[in-house]
Amino acid sequence: MLRPTTAFIALLSVILAGTFSAFAEPLPSLKILVPANPGGGWDQTGRAVEQALRAEKLVTGAIRLSNRGGAGGTIGLAEFAKSKGEGGSLMVMGLVMVGAILTNKSPVTLESVTPIARLTSEYLVIAVPESSKIRTLRDFTEALKKDPGAVAIAGGSRGGSDHILAALVAEAVGAPPAKVNYVAYAGGGEAVASLLGAQVVAGISGYGEFQAHIESKKLRALALSAPARIPGINVPTLKEQGVNVEFGNWRGVVAPEGTSAANRKALLDTVDSMVKSASWKAELRKQNWEDAYLAGDAYARFIRAENERIGAVLKGVGLVK
């Protein structure tokens, strides 16, 4: 019988250590702040994170999720900033918050958080009530060109991804972006309700937020903001219908400013284990989200780049001076 050599045992120890280090030690508890009202993409993201963490037993104690909506997430951001140095806390955020900070001239910025990870990316959909006289994207853009003020468009916060897409579409078809009649809501649920109630002409949101109503035929999807058709989503793109616009929305999580190195590592390890889990992959499929995982320092660099990119876009369409 062959006995394992000392070198082999040492090698095996290294391999096993690397294997087990890939799994995070469970957090004792976690607080998740969603800086928006229930029903929208951030709320869906926060609840998906909560469900995946519970399913994978990555948090042993309580997970407390709370909503604090308003002003594109900047009200929630200001509240989150008060938890400086606190461990075991995450806030959901994304591209919308980048734009809202600029348009609202928020005194609290993303310099007041510790970036943990970008999680998802999603393309936006333009939809109308099924009973609408607007049947196609062409109908929508013709109405926009004729009288942009008469085409009320519901979406999330002012300066967010939904607003930016409305302005980009208007610009692409020759309508003044600054004259778009954009109706901002603090939460996706409120925007959907206004659209279903025909209080507005059209709505813009992430496909996942409108999906159930599109599939039940209560809403009609006119176009998706993706560069090409997405498998499983039977909606033509803006580009294939002659409107040269593509635009995606991303979401992620951050910790409070001043989070200790040990607490930051614990959160990074926990999120890393979560995004690699079967539970999280199931959430991505369920919501038609793309996996956009980017963690730690790389995510911090990405946020800085997004500040510059979105600032340029908002200035270009007249939403920021």
Q: Do 205 and 267 share a domain, yes or no?
A: no
* Mean pLDDT to the nearest integer, 251-261: 97
DSSP state at residue 180: -
Residue 218 contacts residue 129 (beta carbons within 8 Å): yes
pLDDT at 22: 47
Average pLDDT over residues 98-112: 95
CATH number of the domain encompassing residue 58? 3.40.190.150
Q: Please say whether the beta carbons of 288 and 44 come within 8 A.
A: no
Pair of tokens at residue 26:
């469970």
Confidence of residue 189 (pLDDT cuts 50, 70, 90): confident
Number of domains in the chain: 2
**Same domain assignment for residues 113 and 129:** no
- Write the DSSP assignment of 88-134 as a string of letters: SEEEEEEHHHHHHHHHTT-SS-GGGEEEEEEEEEEEEEEEEETT-S-
The mean per-residue pLDDT over the stretch 10-27 comes to 53
**Residue 254 falls within a domain, yes or no?**
yes
What's the pLDDT score for residue 5?
52
**C-beta atoms surrounding 245 within 10 Å:** 17
Q: What domain range is 68 assigned to?
A: 28-120+250-309
Would you state the pLDDT for residue 23? 56
Neighbours of 144 (CB within 10 A): 25
Give mean pLDDT, residues 63-71: 95
Do 254 and 230 share a domain, yes or no?
Answer: no
Least confident of 26-30, 40-44, 147-151: 40-44
Quote the CA–CA distance of 86 and 256 in Å, as a whole number: 7
**CATH number of 136's domain:** 3.40.190.10
The pLDDT mean for the chain works out to: 91
Q: Please spell the DSSP secondary structure of 63-82, one letter per residue.
A: EEEEE---GGGHHHHHHHHT
Whole-number percent of the chain with pLDDT over 90: 82
Over residues 143-147, the mean pLDDT reads: 97
Same domain, 170 and 203: yes
